[in-house]
Amino acid sequence: MQNAQATIPNIPAEITVRIDRLPSCWVFWRLIALLSLGGFFEMYDLFQTAYLSPGLLSSGIFHAGAKGLFGLTDQATFAAATFAGLFIGTIVFGSVADRFGRRAIFTISLLWYTAASLAMSMQNTSVGVDLCRLIAGIGIGVELVTIDAYISELAPRDLRGRAFAVNQSIQFAAIPVLALISSILIPNAPLGIPGWRWVVILGASAAIAVWFIRRSIPESPRWLAQQGRFDEARAAIAGIEVRVEAELGHALREPVPTASEAGGTGKFSEIWVPPYRRRTWMLMVFNFFQTIGFYGFGNWVPALMASKGANVANSLQYSTIIAFMYPIGPLLCLAFADKYERKWQIVTAAIGTASFGLLFAQQSRPGMLIVFGMLITLSNNLLSYSYHAYQAELFPTRIRARAIGFVYSWSRLSTILTSFMIAFFLQNFGANGVFAFIAGSMLMVVLSIGIFGPRTAGLALEEISH
């Protein structure tokens, strides 16, 4: 560790090479798992739209038919409220993690959404439920941006793809958990309390784990160095190195000098100057369209199943089976996460989502609906892990969180509209119309990333930022 300080006088560059020399070991993966655990509760909350709607309908809080906002369903309004909150969280508050640090905002945003979710579990009107979802969505939006920045800065260059794959697997494990709990609780009323309220309360119990998670995670050494807090940055990376060397039983290899970034506090205007301007526009287009495929299917699985003839109970059961692909898919990606260019993984995933979606729309037998539903989910898994890693790589540390927040906000804006568009296509054109809409959106993903996306595989974050 002393050699690194002696041979690399630029402290941000020193921190970079000390991070990039870290090997794959339990200490590193434990940090990724702890960060991802915060995201687990976010995903549990985020995907409630599909699973809570039947319970809210049976409780009389939601109503069947086009009785919600803009004459569409209450489910569409519920989903729109969620993503309106996410939009506000990412575009308005996305920069707070650049200003106050990854660790503090990671904790505060988790507590924020937990409080809002508990409040939602006590509501008796659709307006009250939607308002609480809006507020909870703000916390989720900030949290997800912070986790992406955090992981990209803690992961060595050769492990960055796998780190995001593991992160996504742990986060997405919340979806089958949510589906299973929902299938058990929502048709019932334990202790006389409607099942949908229990589902929300269980997710909000994330607050119990927050303080344990927070104590075990250091602040991002890269962020500390960029803020000029050099002693704290060195102390943070030294703490990780000591634990890694204790696990390995020998000293870490000598660091190799690499490029460094400009220090100081970044400004939002930086994303509009070369080389970031082109990346910003590309990711704005990409995020607007990618979320149509991801949430257009994920948030509407039970409704899509019902449109193919399944009753409420069966649609929830089929959705639960499909949901088990969410944590499995990213684990399969571990085999190639850091071997192939991220941009081509995104393109491949988009083609898969479009193709399998169109085939799903042609099925009527439960077995085939489940098979193609699982294949769509697998493609969406590949898309999600790869783009979360990719967009976090394309901006420097000083503006990473606000840049991710801004480009990511376009996916949230899109999903507000998508909630109503999916409802419109489903009501008027059935599953065929829904998946034609999704396929067109995936074509835009292929074109934007395939043509304009820079290469990032095997490069340090500081090299990519130049």
Three-state DSSP class for residue 101: coil
Determine the residue type at 435. Answer: F
List helix spans (H) across 324-458.
325-333, 342-360, 366-393, 400-452
Structure tokens at 401: 């969180």
* CATH number of the CATH domain containing 163: 1.20.1250.20
Q: Integer distance in angstroms from the first to the last C-alpha of the chain? A: 27
Residues 47 and 176: beta-carbon distance below 8 Å: no
Beta-carbon contacts of 424 under 8 Å, excluding residues fewer than 6 positions away, are 72
Structure tokens at 200: 């929300």
Nearest to 46 by CA among 352, 295, 370, 419: 295
Structure tokens at 5: 């300080």
- Read off the DSSP letter of residue 299: T
Structure tokens at 290: 């990618």
Nearest to 155 by CA among 316, 290, 31, 297: 31
pTM recorded for the entire structure: 0.84
CA quadruple 445, 167, 76, 420: dihedral, nearest 10: -10
Determine the residue type at 105. Answer: I
The C-alpha atoms of residue 289 and residue 91 are separated, in whole angstroms, by 17
Determine the residue type at 392. Answer: A
- CA neighbours closer than 13 Å in the CB half-sphere of residue 216: 17
Three-state DSSP class for residue 275: coil
The pLDDT, as a whole number, for residue 422 is: 84
Nearest to 345 by CA among 357, 334, 355, 356: 334
The pLDDT, as a whole number, for residue 215 is: 73
Domain tally, the chain = 1
pLDDT per residue as tens digits for the range 49-104 = 778 888 888 888 887 665 555 555 777 788 788 888 888 888 888 788 888 888 88
The C-alpha atoms of residue 337 and residue 167 are separated, in whole angstroms, by 12
| Type and span of the H or E element at 255 | none
Question: How many CB atoms within 10 Å of residue 2?
Answer: 6
Give the structural domain span for 7.
2-257+265-464
Per-residue pLDDT tens listing for the chain (466 residues) = 444 444 444 888 889 899 999 999 999 999 999 889 878 887 888 778 778 888 888 888 887 665 555 555 777 788 788 888 888 888 888 788 888 888 888 888 888 888 999 999 999 988 899 999 999 989 888 888 889 999 999 999 899 999 999 999 999 998 888 888 988 898 888 888 999 999 999 888 866 776 677 777 899 999 999 888 999 999 999 999 999 999 999 888 877 666 555 555 678 889 999 889 999 999 999 999 999 988 788 767 767 777 766 665 566 677 778 888 889 989 999 989 888 999 999 999 999 999 998 998 888 788 888 899 899 999 999 999 999 999 999 999 888 989 998 998 898 888 778 877 888 888 888 888 888 999 999 999 999 999 999 999 888 888 887 6
Nearest to 237 by CA among 137, 153, 350, 360: 153
Structure tokens at 110: 């988790």
Residues 292 and 441: beta-carbon distance below 8 Å: yes
Beta-carbon contacts of 236 under 8 Å, excluding residues fewer than 6 positions away, are 218, 219, 220, 221, 224
